Amino acid sequence: MVRVGIAGVGFMGWIHWLAWQKVADAEVVAICSRDEAKRRGDWTTIQGNFGPPGQHVDLSGVSVYENYADLVADDSVDLVDICLPPNLHCQQTIDALDAGRHVLCEKPMALTTGQCDQMLEAASRAGRHLLVGHCLPFFAEFGLVRELAESGKYGRLQGGEFKRTVADPAWLEGFFDPDRTGGPLLDLLVHDVHFIRALFGMPTAVCSRGRMRGECVEYCATVYDFDNKDLVVCSFGGVINQQGRPFTHAFEVRFEQATVQFEFAAFADTPEMMPLKILTAQGEVLRPEACDEDPSDAFVPELAEVASVVSGEQARSSMLDGGLARDAIELCHAQTQSVREGRKVHL
């Protein structure tokens, strides 16, 4: 049984709490929050863009801490699940690793590649696992693409397009602060950048065009170069200033013998979806079973994989690997540099 301590009881801490309840070989034994009401179990103020709203939570039998240092010092905790703001990820991860705990750190791994390197060095020094919570590969639609790439059922990958947009999150304080959240690239588009890195390998260069808001990219389009010149990969997204469409994510991934399509968009009146389809070289349109589960359900297999690694049942996680997450941060910063300087950036 993996004993989990959750640090940070905001939206993501709430989603992780719900998911951990469904992981057979894990148990939340501690939480840490600066909010007195949340330490009493009143999580009703929590809201997010998916999943149920916060509720009253029964914390009987759960150790409750106000100070993070007390949580990481608790020897009953095997794994610290860090659901804190991005600017805290680096130091809090290092503190937990130095205390002998394994760490699951929510994405983005950190705000800079230098911070990511410090975190990886701390994990190596402590002999503990550092996993980064990139949930996207565990969503059913993206999981199907992973399976097809690994099986080779439709031949080799030839490329793909990825889209992710949100309406301006004016309610989120510090979203465009590079020292707090990092802006759309680090907080939003990092999902697709990570998936591209996992699916196609590490790009050799990026060429991005977009708009800046202060020091952060507001919106951009990026073409990725690879050693394999036959790969054609690009991504589009960021913040749009039309509040009528709060969120969209989509992809079209091409194999030698098939193309996989998917798009979901939340509009102010109702969500709409272009369901998952496989278009084959033989002229078929295959429609896999609808993937209409709550997005929060994707966190259950993600956290189950974390528990499997920490328990030793699984040696490592290819999707939650800290080195992979570090590469995604490097790629995001390369895109910012490309937009700012108006040129291709080599990696």
* pLDDT of 290 strictly over 70: no
Examine residue 120 and state whether it is found in any structural domain, yes or no. Answer: yes
Give me the number of domains the chain comprises: 2
**Same domain for 41 and 142?**
no
Extract the tokens encoding 82: 């860090």
pTM tops 0.85, yes or no: yes
pLDDT tens-digit map of 220-244: 999 999 999 999 999 999 999 989 9
Would you state the pLDDT for residue 54? 86
Q: What is the mean pLDDT of residues 291-297?
A: 67
- pLDDT beyond 90 at 249: yes
Instruction: Say how far apart CA 321 and CA 13 lie, in whole Å.
Output: 20
Give percent above pLDDT 90 in the chain.
Answer: 86
Q: 165 with 266, same domain?
A: yes
Same domain, residue pair 18 and 91: yes
Q: Is residue 321 part of a domain?
A: no
Residues 114, 156 within the same domain: no
pLDDT band at 171 (very low <50, low <70, confident <90, very high): confident
Nearby residues of 208 by Cβ (< 8 Å), 6 or more positions away = 217, 220, 221, 222, 223, 335, 336, 338, 339, 345
114-148 burial, b at 16+ Cβ within 10 Å, e below that, comes to ebbbbbbebbeebebbbbbbbbbbbbbbbbbbbeb
The string of pLDDT tens digits covering residues 34-58 is 989 999 998 998 877 677 888 899 9
pLDDT (0 to 100) of residue 293:
61
Tally of CB atoms within 10 A around 47 = 13
User: Are residues 70 and 53 part of one domain?
Assistant: yes
The 3-state DSSP composition of the chain as helix, strand, coil percent (nearest 5) reads: 35, 30, 35
Whether residues 231 and 160 share a domain: the answer is yes
Residue 298: what pLDDT? 84
Cα dihedral value 268, 269, 271, 273, nearest 10: -110
Whether the per-residue pLDDT at 167 is higher than 70: the answer is: yes
CATH of the domain at 276: 3.30.360.10
- State yes or no: cis peptide before 169, omega within 30 of 0: no
The answer to the question of residue 186 being in a domain is yes
Can you give the pLDDT at residue 75? 96
pLDDT single digits (tens) 310-329: 999 999 999 999 999 999 99
Residues 6 or more apart whose Cβ sits within 8 Å of residue 170:
none
pLDDT of residue 292: 55
Which of 172, 147, 166, 167 has its CA nearest to residue 157?
A: 147
Beta bridge partners, 130, equal: 103
Name 80's bridge partners: 5, 103
Average pLDDT for residues 257-281, to the nearest whole number? 93
Residue-number span of the structural domain to which 215 is assigned: 136-291+328-346
- Domain check: are 205 and 107 in the same one? no
Q: Looking at this protein, which amino acid is placed at residue 17?
A: W
Q: Is residue 264 part of a domain?
A: yes
Please write the tens of the pLDDT for every residue from 187-211: 999 999 999 999 999 999 999 999 9
Q: Are 117 and 193 contained in the same domain?
A: no
Assess whether 25 and 42 both reside in one domain. yes
Average pLDDT over residues 264-271: 88
87 part of a folded domain: yes
In a domain, 322, yes or no: no
| 189 and 240 within one domain | yes
pLDDT of residue 291: 60
Check which CATH number belongs to the domain holding 106 and give it. Answer: 3.40.50.720
Query: Would 323 be classed as within a structural domain?
Result: no
How many CA atoms lie less than 13 Å away from 245 in the CB half-sphere? 14
Under the banding of pLDDT at 50, 70 and 90, the label for residue 297 is: confident
Alpha-carbon gap, residue 201 to 259, rounded angstroms: 19
Q: Read off the tokens for 89.
A: 């990820």
Give a yes or no: residue 93 inside a domain. yes
Domain co-membership, 124 together with 144: no
Mean pLDDT of the chain: 95
> Are 178 and 233 members of one domain?
yes
